[in-house]
Each structure stands twice: as C-alpha cells, then as structure tokens.
Structure 1
Amino acid sequence: MHGLTRNARDWEPVAERLAGDWKLYVLEMRGRGESAYAPDPLSYVPLTYVQDVEAFLAAEKIGRYVAFGTSLGGIVTMLQAATRPERLAGALLNDIGPVLEDEGLERIRGYVGKGGNFPTWLHAARNLQNGFGDVYPNWALEQWLAMAKRLCKLQPSGRIGYDYDMRIAEPLRVTGGESGFDMWTAFAKLADVPTMLVRGALSELLSAATAAEMQRRKPDLDITVVPDTGHAPLLDEPEAVSAIDRLLERVEERERQSA
C-alpha cells in the first residue's frame, strides 16, 4: 500500500521483481490514481482506508497475506494488525512507525494538496528535485523523471499534474487526522507477525529513536536502514531488496512450520 500522495506506480520495481514468485495485489487508495475520488474529503483518513482494504480482501476472498506499506500504507498495515492480526502472514513497514516526527509532518502539510501544473515532464521532474532534493541527494535527472511519471499524470488539457485528489489534505488540518488511533497499541498486535522495518537514514518522519523503541517492544523486528535516503525509500535500493527477501524467507519458513 502506497504513501499519502502516491499510487500503485510506486510499486513498479517491487512488483516487477516479485511477480514471478508471488501473487501480488497493488492497491490504489480512494482519491489516488485510478481509484474514485471520495464525495466527502473527511473520509480520507486511515480508518476509512482500512475499511476499503477489508472490503477488497473480502471481495477477493483473501485470507492470509503479507502486507507491504509505505508511510500511510504502513499506518494502514498496523491498523489492520490491530483488528485482525491473525490474517497477516508478514508485514513490511517502509519508513513509518507509531510516532511521526513533527518536522516530517510539517513538511508533508506544507506540500500536500497544493497541486502543481507543468508544461512538460522535465518541468515536473525539476519541481520534484527542487522540493525533495534533500530526500534523495544522489539522484540523477533520470531518476527524477521516473519519479515524476509515477506521481503525476497527463491531464486532458495537455499539461501534467499530480495524480491524486487535492482534498486529501483536509483531514491533516484536524488534530489526530494522521491516524485517529493509538498506534503503539496497533503496533503491539504485530508481536507474532514476521515484520521488517525499512528506514531512510535521512528520514524526517521516522526517527532512529522510534525505530529503536519499536525493536525494544518487538525484539524480533528486523530493521534495515537505507543510506543517503529520506522519507521514503523506494524499496529498489540494494539494502531494501535484501530486506524484502529476508522477510519473505521468514514468512515462507513460518508458513511451512505451521502447515
């Protein structure tokens, strides 16, 4: 599950690598990508996304599954654990934890819902580079262009804009709108679930202290730090690729033992 302003295209590198061995479902939350925009913008909150995911799982008759969640998607994953932990065969939390740092939240509030309108893909890429160059300091222009094509779409006007409903920002103006739940309680429900935490070394949203506390509360939590990367890793970095493989190996071993 993708992050706040993202969509299914974020998972292209992961999906291309794993699709031969795993059955993958790459979801787009309401208001993003090909999913419909919500009539009520105040429904753009994690508890609603959890209900949407549960409806999808029921429709597809999916019992147990491994959940991958980046940022907001990781919050949804933890909230899923809070309600039905027995269905999670494994979980990957990408640069997200029960505590969100104020610095990171303020940065998100500063750009989400502000829109953007660009004449070319190069302009869109340069705009992203100007706004997030400190998050991915070693990226070349080619990588910024790839990011622009994941985050944006060609509009009917012929110009390029972000591929989400700008009104997703409205719940963030409400205190507690990030989750509306005690996330440490939700995280605790992952106690018996093989879990991988991937953290960007430069992350402003997930601190090293929070990651350490997560591991203190869940000693078998596997933590991988992606160097020279902020919020959030794309999961195609060598460190993240190895982390995903380790998690899936743990899941397979656990499932064999319980069969």
Structure 2
Amino acid sequence: MEFTQNTVQCASPSGLHRMAYTEWGARDNPRVLLCVHGLTRNARDFDALARAMASHYRVICPDVVGRGQSSRLRNPAGYGIPQYVGDMVTLIARLGVDSVHWVGTSMGGLIGMALASLESTPIQKLLLNDVGPLITVDALQRIATYVGADPTWASFDEALAYIKLISAPFGNLDETQWRHLTEHSIAQRSDGRWGFRYDPLIAAPFKAAFADQDVDLWPLYEQIKCPTLVLRGAESDLLSRPTWEAMGSRGPRAKLAEIQGVGHAPMFMTDEQISIARDFLLSA
C-alpha cells in the first residue's frame, strides 16, 4: 500500500504557509482517519498504522507547520494549539468531508482535544496517545531540555545513535524501525552535516507558556462528547497514571489501554499497538 504526498495552503496572522500531508487508501472513501504527530515528530511516524488502516479509511497524516515537509511560520509566536487547530480545520475542508476519526500522539492529542471540545466538531472518534488534560511542570521541563535544540551530526549513523538515545522511551524498536524514524526526522544541510527537519523556533512559545506551571486542560477535556480511547505507555512521565485513570471517569469517560515496556510514547509500530487502535476505531 503506497501513499501520495500532498499539501494544503493555510493562513496565519503573519501570512500563508503550506502544510504537507501523506494520504493513504482510496481517495473516494468517505471514512477519513487523521493521524497527528507529537511536538518534534512528523507524519511518517504513522506509516505502519496508516498502512494497516488504509483498507478501511482514507488515512491522512499531516506534518504540523514547522515540522517535516511543511513550511515554517514567519512569526514563531504562532506555533501553538490555536494555529494548529485552524490548520486542521482547513485540511478537513480540503478533504471535503464533514467528519473524521482522530489519532493524536502527545501534541497531536492536544490538538485533537481542542478540536473535539468545540461545538459542531468534525471529530467523531478520538484516540489520545499518551497525553491528557494535565501535564506537570516536571514533564514540561524535561521536554524543554531538548525541544528547540538544533544539534548537527557528521553522519547519518551519528544521528541515528542520538535519536535512539533521546527516544528510548518509544520502547523496544528494531533497527529497521529506528532507521525509519531517523530518516524522516533529519535532513542533510548545505555544509554536509545532518540536522533535524523541524524549525527550532517551535520552542519559543512552548517555553514561554509552560516554563513554570502545570498545564490544566480538564475544562477542555470535559467538553468532549465523542467516543474516546486513551492509550498510555506504562512508563510515561507525560501522562501520569492518576490522570489516565481519571480520564476514564470524567468528560467522555474514555476507554483506557496501556502498553508495558514503553514510556512517552507508543509509536504504533507493533502489532499489539496497531491492534488496539484498529479495534477501537472500527468498533460500532
């Protein structure tokens, strides 16, 4: 099952930008699954899940602005959930559908929560991957240690080793999977060195907004009405067990699932993780 690469034009207060996305499955399938990645990640994280779901859905995996193949904002102050939600609404309009199912990892889950909480939301099913409505200062400070950094490496293998190190919480991936994640996270620059594909300025509004306080989005979560599943890495430091458990009894009263041996975040690269997503998304 192959994909196509497309773009959609979006607007921000500082001008226009292009958001890239991969598209899997039949274009005339009215059932659409949107898969949205984490803070510094990209659309190609979802290749295995998209391949597995493409016989059921038209699967759309966007590169959030400033990441992957998408363009960068002229004003980095725009890197935040309101802009990302607006871009997703533009993308859904481009697709010509009224409703979607949503898989969101980390930041992609926060975008999904924000959109799902709105009146007349297009989201009919929501899978939140290792993210919830309470993110602690400790977790935010850990993220702040690497987001916005712009390291470079002399070789692909050096970059691969670095990504294996900082992404160790993804779990026990094999060499092919690690190479896939690395290939789509980095690019070779004009000086011959390798560096991340994302705009390091995505860190500026993140650090300004969340530097010294918890993020409490419970009021947002409690507005969600669609069927919801929350998948947690059992060793996650971003989605705590008490918050995860509370999500099962508040708001949409989400179904809960947990992956052993994984932290932040499950990557939908194993049969077990794909099966959890598939069973929830295709259930009546």
TM-score (norm 1): 0.88
Q: CA deviation at 1:232?
A: 0.8
More RCO (CA 8 Å, sep 6+): 1
Q: For residue 235 of structure 1, what is the aligned residue in structure 2?
A: 268
Q: CA deviation at 1:36?
A: 0.9
Residue 268 (structure 2) pairs with residue 213 (structure 1): no
**Letter paired with 1:121:** F
The answer to whether the 8 Å contact 2:236/2:262 transfers is: yes
How far apart, CA to CA, are the structure 2 residues paired with 1:122 and 1:13? 23
Residue 197 (structure 2) pairs with residue 169 (structure 1): no
Residue 83 of structure 1 aligns to a residue in which SS?
coil
Cα 1:247–1:25 shift into 2, 3 Å: same
The answer to whether the 8 Å contact 1:151/1:162 transfers is: yes
Residue 95 (structure 2) pairs with residue 71 (structure 1): no
Q: Encode CA deviations 1:98-155: one digit per residue, 9 max, x unaligned.
A: 001222211110001111211222111111233333x145345444333211321233
Cα 1:84–1:59 shift into 2, 3 Å: farther
How far apart, CA to CA, are the structure 2 residues paired with 1:177 and 1:105? 7
How far apart, CA to CA, are the structure 2 residues paired with 1:86 and 1:175? 26
Cα 1:243–1:220 shift into 2, 3 Å: farther
Equivalent residue runs for 1:42-53 within 5 Å: 42-53=77-88
User: Alignment length, in residue pairs?
Assistant: 248
How far apart, CA to CA, are the structure 1 residues paired with 2:202 and 2:58? 30
How far apart, CA to CA, are the structure 2 residues paired with 1:150 and 1:35? 13
Residue 146 (structure 2) pairs with residue 111 (structure 1): yes
The answer to whether the 8 Å contact 2:237/2:264 transfers is: yes
Select the structure that is richer in strand. 2
Q: For residue 34 of structure 1, what is the aligned residue in structure 2?
A: 69
The answer to whether the 8 Å contact 2:126/2:227 transfers is: yes
The answer to whether the 8 Å contact 2:49/2:269 transfers is: yes
How far apart, CA to CA, are the structure 2 residues paired with 1:86 and 1:47? 15
Cα 1:138–1:29 shift into 2, 3 Å: closer
Q: For residue 256 of structure 1, what is the aligned residue in structure 2?
A: none
How far apart, CA to CA, are the structure 1 residues paired with 2:277 and 2:192? 38
How far apart, CA to CA, are the structure 2 residues paired with 1:57 and 1:107? 33
**Letter paired with 2:156:** W
Q: Which runs of 5+ in 2 are unaligned?
A: 1-35
Match of 2:232 among 196, 199, 224: 199
Q: CA deviation at 1:237?
A: 2.8
Q: CA deviation at 1:159?
A: 2.3
Select the structure that is richer in helix. 1
Cα 1:141–1:229 shift into 2, 3 Å: same
Q: CA deviation at 1:206?
A: 0.5
Residue 187 (structure 2) pairs with residue 187 (structure 1): no
**Letter paired with 1:41:** P
Match of 1:87 among 122, 125, 137: 122
Q: For residue 244 of structure 1, what is the aligned residue in structure 2?
A: 277
The answer to whether the 8 Å contact 1:45/1:177 transfers is: no
Give the fraction of aligned pairs with identical amino acids, expressed as a percent: 30
Match of 2:188 among 145, 154, 159: 154
